Amino acid sequence: MRYLNFIKDYGLRALESEGIVVSDESTAELIISATLKRMLPLMLKHGTRKKYLLWTNEPRVDRHFTSVVHYPLLPKLHILNVYTGIFTHNYYWVPKDVNLLPITNFEFNHRRVVALMKYRNNRRKWSLKHQRRELDLSYLRTQIALEGHRMGVVDVYGPDWPLEIRKGESRRRNWRNNKLKILQGYNFNLAFENTNWEYYCTEKIWDAIQGGCLPIYYGQGNAIYEDFPEGSFLDYCDFGSPAELFAYIEAMTTQEFIKRMNLCIETFNTAVEKQKATEEFRLKLTVKRIQEVVGEG
């Protein structure tokens, strides 16, 4: 159950404190799974003798957009995922116990942008639409990186990239420390999410800031401006093309960079303080949903 991160020791204790005991499949009243592939055989096996909850915080693991799903000849399936409200703010993935100092003196050594991400250059494969709105950002992010590489202003790290493009790998052992080390050699980071949804804000923007980079983020269709003020990160939605974005970066003054970066650092430090209660809050949300499902007649 890779994506059921509440089954860790802390989560188990929290569930047990609410009277929820984790047991094996045969005795459980409610079966929880992270994927439909694993859930369907269990639903076929046990039918209406049990209740079912699909739980994941990864948007591409489960793509249901409603909190309850009815399949023909199968019992009711409950959903708690990115699209049905498992996240209610932007700082679940903020690093713990980190405090960044504001920038005072700064000069550009270079203005190259670093991109740490998988190569996803297939629009049809990665497309994810809801009510005619495209939620996928990974294909667009790849196109921006490719254009920047062609222009000589983007360095790419990550799996699956053509060898002539990839500068190195970021996901080796201790991948986050390796990532931060790479970021520290740059001042700008292309930090789009894979999927554009309200409150789906992963480590990408936070790691960029911690690594000393001004994030290039996609700020429409999510809730990022609930925490970040205007004029902090570079919002790709403000630009008409990759070339326009890179031209803006090339013309940026040190004063503007310092101002934007310090707004990001201030937001980062505030989010670190808020993050302390997020795991407990998400567990409470999970407990509430479990109780609702189990309590149904």
pLDDT at res. 2: 40
Element (H, E) at 100: none
- Phi, psi torsion values for 110, nearest 5 degrees: -160, 170
DSSP label of 136: B
CA 166, 167, 171, 173 torsion-angle sign: positive
Whether the Cβ atoms of residue 90 and residue 227 lie closer than 8 Å to each other = yes
Phi, psi (degrees; rounded to nearest 5) at 192: -60, 150
DSSP 1-39: -TT-GGGSHHHHHHHHHTT-----TTT-SEEEES-HHHH
Exposure on the CB side of residue 119, measured as CA atoms within 13 A? 17
Cα–Cα nearest to 176, from 139, 204, 215? 204
C-alpha dihedral (60, 61, 62, 65), degrees to nearest 10: -20
Count structural domains, the chain: 2
Helix (H) or strand (E) holding 134: strand 133-134
For residue 271, the tally of other CB atoms under 10 A from its CB is 23
Residue 95 in any domain: the answer is no
- pLDDT value of residue 3: 44
pTM score: 0.92
Could you report the average pLDDT of every consecutive run of 10 residues in the chain (297 residues)? 53 75 86 93 95 94 96 95 94 92 95 97 97 97 98 96 88 81 97 98 97 98 98 98 98 98 98 82 82 85
Residue 98 lies in a domain: no
Same structural domain for residues 168 and 267? yes
Residues of the domain holding 33? 5-87+278-295
In a domain, 100, yes or no: no
Note whether 221 and 197 are within 8 A (CB).
Answer: yes
* Whether 228 and 129 share a structural domain: yes
Whether 166 and 118 share a structural domain: yes
Residues 111, 108: Cα–Cα separation, whole Å: 7
Structure tokens at 156: 């790419």
Query: What one-letter code names the amino acid at 78?
Result: H
Same domain, 61 and 189: no
On whether both 249 and 288 belong to a single domain, the answer is no
Residue 22 forms part of a structural domain: yes
**Residue 101 domain-assigned?**
no
Q: Give the CATH number, domain containing residue 223.
A: 3.40.50.11660
Instruction: Please work out, in degrees rounded to the nearest 5, the angle formed at the alpha carbon of residue 196 by the alpha carbons of 195 and 199.
Output: 110
Q: Say if residue 79 is in the same domain as residue 168.
A: no
What count of residues does the chain have? 297
